[in-house]
Amino acid sequence: MAALAPVPDTAEPSFAELLAGRPFLSMHAQDGLLLEDVPLSAIADAVGTPCWVVSAGTLRARLAALRAAFDPLRAHVHYAVKANDHLAILRLMAAGGAGADVVSGGEMQRALLAGIPPDRIVFSGVGKQPPELLQAAQAGIAQINVESAEELEVLSAVASAAGHSVAVALRINPDVDAGTHAKITTGRADNKFGIGLDTAAALYAHAASLPGVRPVGLALHIGSQIGTTAPYRAAFARVADLVRTLRAAGQTVSRVDCGGGLGISYRDEVEGSPAAFAGAVGAMLGGMGLDLMIEPGRWLAGPAGLLLASVVLTKTTAGRRFTVLDAAMNDLVRPAMYDAWHGIVPLGAADAVAAVSDTDIVGPVCETGDTFARSRLLPPLAPHARVAILDAGAYGSVMSSTYNARPLAAQVMVDGDRWAVIRPRQPLESLWANETIPDWLAAR
Q: Known catalytic residues? A: 366
Question: How many residues appear in the chain?
Answer: 444
Interface of this chain with ligand LLP, residues 286 to 325, rule: CB under 6 A: 295-299
- The answer to whether 22 contacts ligand LLP (rule: CB under 6 A) is no
Binding mask 363-402 for ligand LLP (x = CB under 6 A): -------------------------------xx-------
CB of 2 to ligand LLP, least distance (A): 41
CB of 399 to ligand LLP, least distance (A): 6
**Binding test (CB under 6 A) with ligand LLP, winner from 44, 69, 73, 80:** 80
Residue number with CB closer to ligand LLP (34 or 293): 293
- The answer to whether 221 contacts ligand LLP (rule: CB under 6 A) is yes
Which alpha helices (H) appear in 21-86, and where do they start and end?
Answer: 40-47, 56-70
Tell me how far apart the alpha carbons of residues 333 and 162 are, in angstroms, rounded to a whole number.
41
Backbone angles phi, psi at 352, to 5 degrees: -75, -15
Cβ distance 255 to 268 under 8 Å?
no
Q: What single DSSP character describes residue 226?
A: B
Where does this chain touch ligand LLP (CB under 6 A) — which range of 32-40, 221-229, 245-253, 412-420? Answer: 221-229
Tell me how far apart the alpha carbons of residues 125 and 106 are, in angstroms, rounded to a whole number.
13
Cβ distance 217 to 290 under 8 Å?
yes
Interface of this chain with ligand LLP, residues 84 to 103, rule: CB under 6 A: 101
CB of 225 to ligand LLP, least distance (A): 6
Question: Partners of 25 in the beta sheet?
Answer: 35
DSSP track, 101-115:
EESSHHHHHHHHHTT
**Binding test (CB under 6 A) with ligand LLP, winner from 49, 104, 124, 143:** 124
Tell me how far apart the alpha carbons of residues 364 and 303 are, in angstroms, rounded to a whole number.
25
- The answer to whether 76 contacts ligand LLP (rule: CB under 6 A) is no
CB neighbours of residue 376 within 10 Å: 18
Half-sphere exposure in the Cβ direction for 45 (13 Å, CA): 8
**Binding test (CB under 6 A) with ligand LLP, winner from 187, 212, 231, 260:** 260
Where does this chain touch ligand LLP (CB under 6 A) — which range of 11-19, 75-83, 381-389, 429-437? Answer: 75-83
- The answer to whether 184 contacts ligand LLP (rule: CB under 6 A) is yes
Which alpha helices (H) appear in 304-369, and where do they start and end?
Answer: 334-338, 349-353
- The answer to whether 174 contacts ligand LLP (rule: CB under 6 A) is no
Residue number with CB closer to ligand LLP (83 or 133): 83
- The answer to whether 147 contacts ligand LLP (rule: CB under 6 A) is no
CB of 242 to ligand LLP, least distance (A): 18
Tell me how far apart the alpha carbons of residues 417 and 39 are, in angstroms, rounded to a whole number.
9
Applying CB under 6 A, the site for ligand LLP has a residue count of 23
Residues 6+ apart with CB under 8 A from 308: 40, 43, 44, 49, 50, 51, 52, 53, 327, 347, 386, 387, 388, 389
- The answer to whether 132 contacts ligand LLP (rule: CB under 6 A) is no
Q: Which residues bind ligand LLP (CB under 6 A)?
A: 80, 82-83, 101, 124, 184, 186, 221, 224-225, 259-262, 295-299, 334, 338, 394-395
